[in-house]
Structure 1
């Protein structure tokens, strides 16, 4: 048996920490002297104290430590691995946030970033994401298009939480990496501006976003909000296995969706029309009705019908590729052999 001081020295936990874990029922000493209240720990408990000390050093909360101590070997390893994944996710988030902070610090010294690219390319990028801009007044950060300029190009993103559209194009970028939310009114003015066969320069800073061409300028004030991290959606799409892919003719699929059986889903008291998709035996896309959907949920993906039609239209004419990865994964729509632009539609459960 070891005293509390000896256990502290052997485990790396302080005496006060051992007393804390005793009071919390995490690591109760094997014996407490009834006369003087001294705590005594067995050798297995010293090993447990070392384990507690290590788990605390890596930031595991007390509830997690209790779960590890009470688990068998296999389950304990699983709990530790799950905590490691949380730490890795947190580190990735911290790196992204620190990158944004570095960009803000750079912006204080060099307040302007310019992006030069063809106006036809820029307009096409904005056209491909405009349909996904949010309109919920309680989510004002989604009422615009994110313009994310990095060293080798620019990415535009729009989302309303139920769908997301992403388009990246190479461009000449001068200045620090920056992210701004362009008001949808600025986006629409730029899309509607006549003539697309010229170079356009985007001027990006915290107080103004502008686009300038030959004899014209369109300016506005960026929305002063933080935008959701769209990179998580990209990471989840590219790292969680290989989805099933089916080539489709955009016009033909739009026609089939328009004439498909009506599937209605009630959400929060409102009826929404859905389209239910599956990859058929021949590798094409099947559009099925409500009965087939409920009978084979694991083989189908249900999405908002209007959102699907808008995403197909934004994808352009000709061939598209639909990526399906089960009933709970987003449906991805992109052009063949072109991963610069795609849309993600959140699935609906029956």
Structure 2
């Protein structure tokens, strides 16, 4: 079995252009439920690798009336968006460290709009009489926009609960070893049939259309998808697997499959 190199290569800061962060002052309002949902959608994909400090946060990308939030650890990526009002300035991008992003999420319990402010390297969230603030990460972030419009692939609509149960109770392939920490992980192997259904494959099933992914990562992506039905989009065998929402394709996850060697 080969390693999951494709998404890492596309996002590797040593080899590819980074998002050029623009951290001019910005003030805007965001509906609390939308910002909460966006953070919940991407949080699982953020990196905890101390050797990749630029990925130890969530990118807030503010442009026009949209806020995109993005997280990646190079093995997976998640993108979500929320509506905003009040931002009339230039595009503003800032990487919010995970502790601050988590503190922000803890304040997003109501239905009202909250106030988000960026002042150079300081980020503040105000909701009612509560506030949390901190310094942004002083690092550039991989240019996620290069991956947003991947070539369309084969699509399969899945019932999330049914697919989750099939993954949790179904067979796994022999554990691989993660490059970043040397720990083993399990692979789930599945394929999309001609009628659009998804089959979790047994060991020994070597159909050329099989796709293998880190099972834990896929289960996390299903949870973050937060829908009863999700769409799996499969491109080339080495292309990222996209997990999309039927009603909101602005929010999605990408997972890099692991190449199976027969």
TM-score range, shorter chain: 0.7 to 0.9
Which residue is equivalent to 2:170? 260
Q: Which has the higher strand share?
A: 2
Q: Which has the higher helix share?
A: 1
Count matched residues: 240
- Extract unaligned runs of 5+ from structure 1: 1-92
Q: How do 1:292-307 residues align onto structure 2 when only pairs under 5 Å count?
A: 292=205, 295-296=206-207, 298-307=208-217
Matched, 1:279 2:205: no
Superposed CA deviations along residues 209-243 of structure 1, whole A, max 9, x for unmatched, are 011111111101101000000011113x1xx3x31
**Residue of 246, 249, 263 corresponding to 2:156:** 246
Matched, 1:121 2:31: no
RMSD (CA atoms): 1.8
* Contact preservation (8 Å) 1:144, 1:184: yes
Which stretch has the larger CA shift, 207-216 or 159-168?
207-216
**Residue of 147, 163, 180 corresponding to 2:60:** 147
Q: How do 1:1-350 residues align onto structure 2 when only pairs under 5 Å count?
A: 97=20, 103=22, 107=24, 112-172=25-85, 173-193=87-107, 195-235=109-149, 237=150, 240=151, 242-267=152-177, 268=179, 270-292=183-205, 295-296=206-207, 298-350=208-260
Task: Find the aligned partners of 1:280 and 1:161 in 2 and give their Cα distance.
Answer: 29
Cα 1:265–1:349 change in 2 (3 A) is farther
What secondary structure, in the 3-state scheme, does the structure 1 residue paired with 2:141 have?
Answer: coil
Task: Find the aligned partners of 2:89 and 2:130 in 1 and give their Cα distance.
Answer: 22
Task: Find the aligned partners of 1:254 and 1:206 in 2 and give their Cα distance.
Answer: 42
Superposed CA deviations along residues 308-340 of structure 1, whole A, max 9, x for unmatched, are 000000001311111011321111001114211
Task: Find the aligned partners of 2:84 and 2:92 in 1 and give their Cα distance.
Answer: 14
Task: Find the aligned partners of 1:281 and 1:168 in 2 and give their Cα distance.
Answer: 33
Task: Find the aligned partners of 2:60 and 2:229 in 1 and give their Cα distance.
Answer: 27
Superposed CA deviations along residues 88-145 of structure 1, whole A, max 9, x for unmatched, are xxxxx69x75xx5xx46xx3xxxx2012111111000000000001011100111110
Which stretch has the larger CA shift, 121-130 or 267-276?
267-276
* Contact preservation (8 Å) 2:238, 2:259: yes
Deviation of 1:194 after TM superposition, in Å, equals 5.9
Task: Find the aligned partners of 2:136 and 2:217 in 1 and give their Cα distance.
Answer: 26
User: Looking at CA atoms only, which structure, 1 or 2, has the larger radius of gyration?
Assistant: 1
* Contact preservation (8 Å) 2:29, 2:84: yes
Which stretch has the larger CA shift, 261-270 or 149-158?
261-270
What secondary structure, in the 3-state scheme, does the structure 2 residue paired with 1:283 have?
Answer: coil
Indicate the structure whose relative CO is greater, using CA pairs within 8 Å and at least 6 residues apart.
2
* Contact preservation (8 Å) 2:186, 2:214: yes
Cα 1:272–1:195 change in 2 (3 A) is closer
What secondary structure, in the 3-state scheme, does the structure 2 residue paired with 1:326 have?
Answer: coil
Task: Find the aligned partners of 1:276 and 1:205 in 2 and give their Cα distance.
Answer: 46
Deviation of 1:175 after TM superposition, in Å, equals 2.6
TM-score normalised by the chain length of structure 2: 0.86
* Contact preservation (8 Å) 2:31, 2:83: no
Task: Find the aligned partners of 1:136 and 1:251 in 2 and give their Cα distance.
Answer: 31
